[in-house]
Amino acid sequence: MEDTTLARMMELKQQGYYCSQILMIMGLELQGKENPDLIRAMHGLAGGLGFSGETCGALTGGACLLALYTGKGRPSDEEHQSINPMIIDLVEWFKNGYGQEYGTASSYSIRCEDITTGHAQNIASRCPRMVAGTFQKVKELLVENGIDLAGVIDESDD
């Protein structure tokens, strides 16, 4: 991961954004876009779905970032054929990596509470690493599937 990417992620964290929001901001920046409404909506994924401790916001944010590039946005759009396989690949990669490393002794976990165990020191050390790794994995999946990271999409209303 490039130092500039990590620095940008830390800057966003200091501005009060959470894992899922940081991933989406970084993805939008790759496309040269801003979308405050979308970033606001991504807050719902923070802390494992509204800070309930459920599915990790880095993972759900990564899935949303994949969908930003490949999902259906208008009636005339068609979803990219690789959207669901890419999300499944992301989930398996996350589960077999961070889920195994930070999960419970009896199983791999993708739950925020299991990964961080609710401790500030774990949140401070694990979350930035997972966000950066997930961002890199999302970019790799997109490139592998022939998707332009600049997000060149025909936005005409025809």
**Residue 150 forms part of a structural domain:** no
User: By residue range, what is the domain housing residue 90?
Assistant: 3-144
Is residue 156 included in any domain, yes or no? Answer: no
> Looking at the domain assignment, is residue 33 inside a domain?
yes
Record the tokens describing residue 45, joined without a space.
């994924």
Residue 107, φ and ψ in degrees, nearest 5: -160, 160
- Is position 113 within any domain? yes
- Render pLDDT for 90-120 as a digit per residue (tens, 0 to 9): 999 999 999 888 876 667 889 988 888 867 7
Lowest mean pLDDT segment, chosen from 64-73, 109-118, 135-144:
109-118
Q: State pLDDT tens for residues 36-45.
A: 999 999 999 9
- Domain count along the chain: 1
Specify whether the CB–CB gap between 27 and 138 falls below 8 A.
yes
Report yes or no on 92 lying in a domain. yes
In a domain, residue 151? The reply is no
